[in-house]
Structure 1
């Protein structure tokens, strides 16, 4: 919402709470499989359902992965963490408490590097770091499915390892929140921590939003926004809430501390409940789980398996390969794609040419086939061979594009396709001279224009030659012969 000079100028203060399901074979405190898409209430056992006498057993892989997440995000890993019961009564919690971490979380502090909105297409934009408060490990709850006459609960999700990533209230705009979540998801996916599929509930976000007059240091009244089930809806919901709060303040109203539900389809929000008082969850240490000590050897072992962070990889691509921003921004978004590029760059010795084929043509073919880079019939060695064929003048760039499409269908090597279809460029000077003579005769105005100093006039003549040769004429030789005949 625009603010006139007659009204105070406000700034937003935003903090995010992001829940990310950890990718493990089994649940947090039992061997029951963790997963999505199963028949309702089939991924349960006495531990999940909190039946009398059922005791939790810690899933070490979940702890490994949250430690790795903390290391990736620069957190301090606590030497000792413990488990607490968060008590509340709600149908999605079969125990009527949630095993979580209260005063001794596993990951403390940390930060996420983001690229601020407004970066140009050719230059890496300004970066900043969003500070984290903590990351703690807990078990997920079930899911309520609301119908027209009843609400049913599915406990398949209950007990799934879940980490809550809490930021400091330092985000200033909806676009910054969008950038933060985009990078966070990329790091978690590339680190093998989570698939972060928001449609499957594997990544969920609540936003705490307040506004204050610019120059004020005291935080304003906080409103929590829930049900933000896509990163785009997080951005849109925050932008909507900032506009709503400014409208309330500029009209003389008062912001109420509350939880609001945002509907991404309609772009509107509604009040769910007031939050005048902090909810007392009556945390106490879980009597069935021992504290866990994390030593240096454990962290060193986990650190060795960590991937390169996306922006670190981008900076390396700038320095090592001299790639432009537009290409690096595409390549770092997916670890599989980045590895594919690096292999093609090494085999070809021409990293920029390889990157162009991958970022443009490979991704186009993969998208058209609704498949993945790993499933593509075009391998890095094929890209490297194609780069060499063009660089050596065996085929033209336009013919190379035809070869690329053929590779995607057949899986043949570029050389085999060129031989089978007779696509090699013609370097027969006699044949080329004949095509050039015909092109000059057919384009007298272009020939006259070139003789009068218009360099661009050559393009019409060279285009005629390429058409007559069906793209097989060597462009470099054509240029030399045209200039010689017009001299």
Structure 2
């Protein structure tokens, strides 16, 4: 049963001021309702004035997504009532969007390249934010600091076939937006997703306002299961709007699905039509993720998987390029496979890691001064210091203090012999041709040596000691 998914992504553009007024968009640490004016509060007689930078950012995204920009685009009023929308309509774009017909390349569930079509990109204003208060009395507060923040809505065709594809698409789109510098992913609510999902032959369901990449995958996975269960029981999937309850990992029915005519769109009388197609020639794009991925493979000789991982975040890609001169292949392995995992575990950003210190660690690994296992221990000491806000200690200092320098295998002969004596059955298994027994014995020696010996060299020593011993 084919799954059909289309996404509507709302991206807060990182302009200094709002879309139609001069209020600051930097409100994160300020009191509610302190970044407001008559325009973003929708007071009578207040007239909007379009933010040129928001239009330029929108066109940059359109160019990066290979889109066409019509000669004329137009703002409209989308009419609906909600407490976070004081003027009872949202200024958006309807039948004449900023750009149309684009593409994004992702990897499908079989690992093949896949093109996801972009239907349209348009500008609109963000509404305010409701804060729901629960307790002895239940009520909601409204914060209008967010009201009027520039939003870019990116709408896909229903080309996605699984929740996993949807998440990969969002990761790729986020990377493009960050490379362009038009989006701050650290801002709360900076990217919100409405997902339309159906199983082939059944009604479409919309899941509203999902606020994280993981949330999109979880919400869609729940919906696939819910809709399949309905169909198996002979019931129909109802066309409706649902909300994702992130804490519980479920979707709940909110209301019947609105149709476009419910919003009574009409052209915004206070804003002139946009004629910006000729601006595209002046927009210069940076090196985008796909181009950088291809360059990394060609320039540094790294694998496709490492190149994809390293270029998925511009800060991570910059970090890799800084440390790559030590050894491109070794650097790619340690940044993509080891450092990134340690950072994710600690919920740390790559910007917290001093690249010079990491280069010193790579140099110790490349020279054979420490083993890979000892290198992980050193890295964890470094990251723990960074996480605590302390200076990142030099890797060589940590190696010396913790006695982690790789020693010659012969120094561990006594330990090897003690391990063999303590594990006679494993020795017998090895002599009987069970190669796994050797790995077990090497592991026991590694525990005793705290990772200071090279496993391959230890394997040779263990095998020699077994051959010579009478154990």
Common fold, TM-score beyond 0.5?
Answer: yes
- Tell me: CA distance 1:370–1:152, structure 2 relative to 1, closer, same or farther (3 Å): closer
- Tell me: CA distance 1:258–1:363, structure 2 relative to 1, closer, same or farther (3 Å): closer
1:341 pairs with 305, 320, 326, which one? 320
1:413-432 alignment runs, 5 A limit = 413-415=394-396, 417-418=398-399, 424-425=405-406
2:265 pairs with 282, 295, 313, which one? 282
1:411 pairs with 388, 392, 401, which one? 392
Check the 8 A contact 2:439/2:459 in 1, yes or no. Answer: no
Corresponding residue for residue 185 of structure 1: 174
2:131 pairs with 1:142: no
- Does the residue aligned with 1:90 lie in a helix, a strand or coil? coil
Question: Cα offset for 1:426?
Answer: 5.2
Check the 8 A contact 1:142/1:158 in 2, yes or no. Answer: yes
Corresponding residue for residue 299 of structure 1: 280
Check the 8 A contact 1:18/1:165 in 2, yes or no. Answer: yes
Corresponding residue for residue 202 of structure 1: 190
Structure 2: give runs of 5+ residues left out of the alignment.
Answer: 386-390
Bigger radius of gyration = 1
Corresponding residue for residue 6 of structure 1: none
1:72-151 alignment runs, 5 A limit = 72-118=64-110, 125-147=111-133, 148-151=137-140
- Tell me: CA distance 1:374–1:233, structure 2 relative to 1, closer, same or farther (3 Å): closer
- Tell me, in whole angstroms, the C-alpha distance in 1 between the residues paired with 2:241 and 2:108: 28
Check the 8 A contact 2:91/2:268 in 1, yes or no. Answer: no
Question: Cα offset for 1:345?
Answer: 1.2
- Does the residue aligned with 2:350 lie in a helix, a strand or coil? coil
- Tell me, in whole angstroms, the C-alpha distance in 2 between the residues paired with 1:177 and 1:104: 26
- Tell me, in whole angstroms, the C-alpha distance in 2 between the residues paired with 1:401 and 1:164: 43
Question: Cα offset for 1:28?
Answer: 0.6
Question: Cα offset for 1:159?
Answer: 0.6
Corresponding residue for residue 7 of structure 1: none
2:352 pairs with 1:375: yes
Question: Cα offset for 1:414?
Answer: 3.4
- Tell me, in whole angstroms, the C-alpha distance in 2 between the residues paired with 1:158 and 1:149: 23
Check the 8 A contact 2:70/2:99 in 1, yes or no. Answer: yes
Corresponding residue for residue 365 of structure 2: 390
- Does the residue aligned with 1:110 lie in a helix, a strand or coil? strand
Corresponding residue for residue 353 of structure 1: 330
Corresponding residue for residue 165 of structure 1: 154
Question: What per-residue deviation string (whole Å, max 9, x for no partner) do you get for residues 229-287 of structure 1?
Answer: 43344334334444554555565555544333343426242251354773242311433
- Tell me, in whole angstroms, the C-alpha distance in 2 between the residues paired with 1:314 and 1:478: 38
Corresponding residue for residue 69 of structure 1: 61
- Tell me: CA distance 1:250–1:40, structure 2 relative to 1, closer, same or farther (3 Å): same
- Tell me, in whole angstroms, the C-alpha distance in 2 between the residues paired with 1:145 and 1:392: 56
Check the 8 A contact 2:21/2:50 in 1, yes or no. Answer: yes
Check the 8 A contact 1:177/1:235 in 2, yes or no. Answer: yes
- Tell me: CA distance 1:464–1:207, structure 2 relative to 1, closer, same or farther (3 Å): closer
- Tell me, in whole angstroms, the C-alpha distance in 1 between the residues paired with 2:443 and 2:52: 66
Q: So what's the TM-score if we normalise by structure 2? A: 0.79
Alpha-carbon RMSD across the aligned residues, in angstroms, is: 4.0
- Tell me: CA distance 1:127–1:476, structure 2 relative to 1, closer, same or farther (3 Å): closer
- Tell me: CA distance 1:418–1:301, structure 2 relative to 1, closer, same or farther (3 Å): farther
Question: What per-residue deviation string (whole Å, max 9, x for no partner) do you get for residues 370-428 of structure 1?
Answer: 5422222xx3333333333333333444443444344443534334555677765556x
Corresponding residue for residue 13 of structure 2: 22
2:47 pairs with 1:55: yes
Structure 1: give runs of 5+ residues left out of the alignment.
Answer: 1-9, 119-124, 214-219
Number of matched residues? 453
- Tell me, in whole angstroms, the C-alpha distance in 1 between the residues paired with 2:170 and 2:112: 17
- Tell me, in whole angstroms, the C-alpha distance in 1 between the residues paired with 2:394 and 2:349: 19
Check the 8 A contact 2:67/2:99 in 1, yes or no. Answer: yes
- Tell me, in whole angstroms, the C-alpha distance in 2 between the residues paired with 1:397 and 1:370: 23
- Tell me, in whole angstroms, the C-alpha distance in 1 between the residues paired with 2:403 and 2:232: 73
- Tell me: CA distance 1:477–1:261, structure 2 relative to 1, closer, same or farther (3 Å): closer
- Tell me: CA distance 1:89–1:356, structure 2 relative to 1, closer, same or farther (3 Å): same
Corresponding residue for residue 308 of structure 1: 288
- Tell me, in whole angstroms, the C-alpha distance in 1 between the residues paired with 2:251 and 2:429: 62
- Tell me, in whole angstroms, the C-alpha distance in 1 between the residues paired with 2:260 and 2:239: 9
1:155 pairs with 144, 147, 151, which one? 144
- Tell me: CA distance 1:278–1:351, structure 2 relative to 1, closer, same or farther (3 Å): same
